[in-house]
């Protein structure tokens, strides 16, 4: 499988090169040359397959033979060594819990998968690779954990000071070894702009190999399609029409779901559930895509004003707005509405959600006002990662799981910076 740049001004390349580069030389996102649907029998018998076998069959066309089948299977087994349970909320809504991994966020899958792919490609390479990544919350911890100790790979994580939760900050600033955290005086968009600028800095990239572990990287982005297959496996015998409501920030997760749909997964509709950062919501109404500065919310991992992966979503729909609108609805919600949803889930259904999952729940309810389906909202992070918000709303203490307890007393180690020039100097030194 080869990959092309969505800017269409760079040569097509291999999976390995796309993973190592992150962005194409023309600064476009990589996209697979083709997506071949799986045989219908795959979905007809999916409930009889293990998660590892499902994931392998779904993703192998994008990776083999650059990573041999046996190695790919091992990577998948090591990546998916935790559960992805469906929890029923009511007759029309379920949630898919994606927070049972080591950092208790859905990004564990993509980060662990990419780390192992990059480790395979770099095993005989004497040159070090620097993974440069911006985080609005959960990406940082997942990447730090996934890449910890990977040979020949240094990880540099930029995060906005005071705009990630205390636990998220602990997860990305306490590991040390080959992980460095940079605390940026600004918002997530400032962090992301610095990362993009570094990739476009030819003098910098001529002296070091940079790649990204945000969902712009295909090895971080593509494995997220597994979630939708795992959900379908559990719900196939119960419901005919299934839709997904995804809390959306950089839009990599929902975009991967649409790749699963291209593979043949029966999905009735996708719902992009947003917080106050409503660039895509406005686009779906006006057809005018106008990024704007991100605003801070209690669902901070979605505080993105210019979602990088939306161009991939447009490509999946052949840049046809009407096709996209038939497959995607988008809604946005305030922090007050999110808090009310958290309380409703707890009081009416005895379910403790996190703020992102609560936004997904609101998107599911909105879709069901005018449509018939069983809607699965994705619960993308454990509620204890947002203790101050969740406990205040439900007025109950939430027990800390072992993964969170393990980092609470560790010492933060981060370098403060406020400009691209400071980042550049740090990388060069």
> Cα–Cα distance between 307 and 250 in angstroms, integer?
4
The pLDDT value given to residue 337:
98
The pLDDT value given to residue 380:
95
Q: Identify the CATH number of the domain in which residue 329 sits.
A: 3.40.50.1100
The pLDDT value given to residue 94:
98
Please report the sign of the dihedral spanned by the C-alpha atoms of residue 333, residue 339, residue 340, residue 342. Answer: positive
Q: pLDDT tens track of the chain, all 429 residues?
A: 999 999 999 999 999 999 988 889 998 999 999 999 999 999 999 999 999 999 999 999 999 999 999 999 999 999 999 999 999 999 999 999 999 999 899 999 999 999 999 989 888 777 788 999 998 777 888 888 888 988 888 999 999 999 888 888 998 899 888 999 999 999 888 998 899 899 889 899 999 989 888 888 999 999 999 999 999 999 999 999 999 999 999 999 999 999 999 999 999 999 999 999 999 999 999 999 999 988 989 998 899 999 999 999 999 999 999 999 999 999 999 999 999 999 999 999 999 999 999 999 999 999 999 999 999 999 999 999 899 999 999 999 998 888 888 888 888 999 999 999 999 999 998
Domain ranges, residue 373: 83-105+221-403
Residue 259, domain member (yes or no): yes
Residue 140, domain member (yes or no): no
For the question of residue 107 being annotated catalytic, the response is yes
Tally of structural domains, the chain: 1
The pLDDT value given to residue 374:
98
Residue 114, domain member (yes or no): no
Pairing assessment for the beta strands 269-274 and 415-417 based on DSSP bridges: unpaired
> Cα–Cα distance between 344 and 341 in angstroms, integer?
5
Residue 215, domain member (yes or no): no
Residue 303, domain member (yes or no): yes
Provide the Cα torsion 347, 137, 333, 320; round to 10°: -130
- DSSP lists the bridge partners of residue 272 as 246, 330
Q: List alpha helices for 158-266, DSSP H.
A: 166-173, 188-200, 202-205, 218-221, 226-235, 252-262
* Burial state string for 191-205 with b = 16 or more CB within 10 A and e = fewer than 16: bbbbbbebbebeebb
Q: Do residues 76 and 56 lie in contact, with contact meaning Cβ atoms separated by under 8 Å?
A: yes
The pLDDT value given to residue 299:
94
For residue 18, give both structure tokens.
């796309």
Among all chains, which residue has been given the structure tokens 């729909």? 317
Provide the Cα torsion 290, 292, 296, 302; round to 10°: 40
> Cα–Cα distance between 6 and 315 in angstroms, integer?
8
> Cα–Cα distance between 74 and 217 in angstroms, integer?
21
> Reading across the β-sheet that carries 13-14, which strands appear in turn?
13-14, 2-5, 30-32
What does the DSSP assignment read for 55-77? HHHHHGGGTTTTS-HHHHHHHHH
Residue 319, domain member (yes or no): yes
- DSSP lists the bridge partners of residue 182 as 158, 415
Residue 188, domain member (yes or no): no
Provide the Cα torsion 230, 232, 235, 241; round to 10°: 160
**Candidates 9, 107, 268, 410; catalytic one:** 107
Among all chains, which residue has been given the structure tokens 């939760």? 165
Q: Which of 407, 417, 423 is nearest to 141 (CA)?
A: 407
What does the DSSP assignment read for 69-114? HHHHHHHHHHHT-S---EEE-SSSEEEEE---STTSBTHHHHHHHH
> Cα–Cα distance between 43 and 242 in angstroms, integer?
14
Residue 5, domain member (yes or no): no
Residues with Cβ within 8 Å of 378's Cβ and at least 6 positions away in sequence, in order, are: 95, 96, 98, 106, 227, 244, 245, 246, 247, 253, 357, 360
Longest dimension (CA), the chain: 58
Q: DSSP assignment, residue 159?
A: E
Q: Do residues 214 and 195 lie in contact, with contact meaning Cβ atoms separated by under 8 Å?
A: yes
> Cα–Cα distance between 362 and 337 in angstroms, integer?
8
């Amino acid at each position: 499988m080869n990959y092309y740049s969505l800017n269409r001004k760079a040569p097509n390349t291999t999976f390995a090169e796309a993973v190592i580069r992150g962005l194409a030389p023309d600064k476009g996102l990589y996209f697979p040359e083709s997506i071949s649907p799986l045989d219908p029998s795959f979905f007809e018998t999916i409930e009889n397959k293990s998660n590892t076998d499902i994931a392998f069959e779904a993703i192998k066309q994008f990776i083999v033979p650059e990573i041999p089948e046996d190695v790919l299977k091992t990577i998948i087994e090591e990546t998916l060594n935790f559960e992805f349970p469906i929890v029923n909320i009511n007759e029309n809504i379920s949630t898919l819990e994606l927070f049972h991994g080591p950092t208790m966020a859905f990004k564990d899958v993509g980060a662990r998968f990419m780390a192992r792919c990059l480790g395979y490609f770099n095993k005989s390479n004497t040159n070090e690779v620097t993974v440069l990544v911006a985080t609005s919350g959960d990406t940082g911890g997942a990447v730090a954990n996934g890449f910890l100790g990977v040979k020949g790979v240094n990880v540099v994580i930029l995060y906005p000071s005071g705009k990630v939760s205390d636990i998220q900050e602990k997860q990305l600033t306490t590991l040390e070894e080959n992980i460095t955290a940079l605390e940026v005086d600004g918002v997530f968009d400032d962090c992301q702009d610095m990362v993009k600028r570094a990739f476009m800095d030819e003098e910098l990239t001529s002296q070091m190999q940079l790649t990204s572990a945000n969902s712009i990287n295909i090895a971080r982005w593509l494995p997220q399609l597994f979630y939708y297959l795992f959900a379908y496996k559990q719900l196939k015998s119960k419901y005919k029409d299934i839709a997904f409501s995804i809390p959306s920030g950089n839009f990599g997760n929902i975009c991967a779901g649409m790749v699963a749909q291209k593979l043949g997964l029966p999905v009735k509709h996708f719902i992009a559930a947003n917080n106050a950062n409503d660039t895509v919501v406005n686009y779906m109404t006006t057809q005018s895509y106008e990024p704007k500065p991100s605003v801070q919310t209690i669902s901070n991992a979605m505080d993105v004003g210019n979602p990088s992966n939306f161009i991939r979503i447009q490509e999946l729909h052949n840049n046809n707005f009407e096709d996209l609108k038939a497959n995607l609805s988008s809604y946005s919600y305030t922090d007050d509405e999110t808090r009310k949803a958290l309380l409703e889930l707890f009081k009416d259904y005895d379910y403790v959600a996190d703020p992102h999952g609560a936004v997904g729940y609101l998107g599911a309810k909105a879709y069901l006002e005018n449509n018939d389906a069983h809607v699965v909202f994705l619960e993308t992070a454990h509620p204890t990662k947002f203790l101050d918000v969740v406990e205040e709303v439900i007025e109950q203490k939430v027990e800390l799981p072992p993964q969170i307890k393990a980092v609470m007393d560790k010492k933060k180690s981060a370098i403060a910076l406020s400009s691209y020039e400071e980042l550049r100097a740090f990388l060069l030194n």
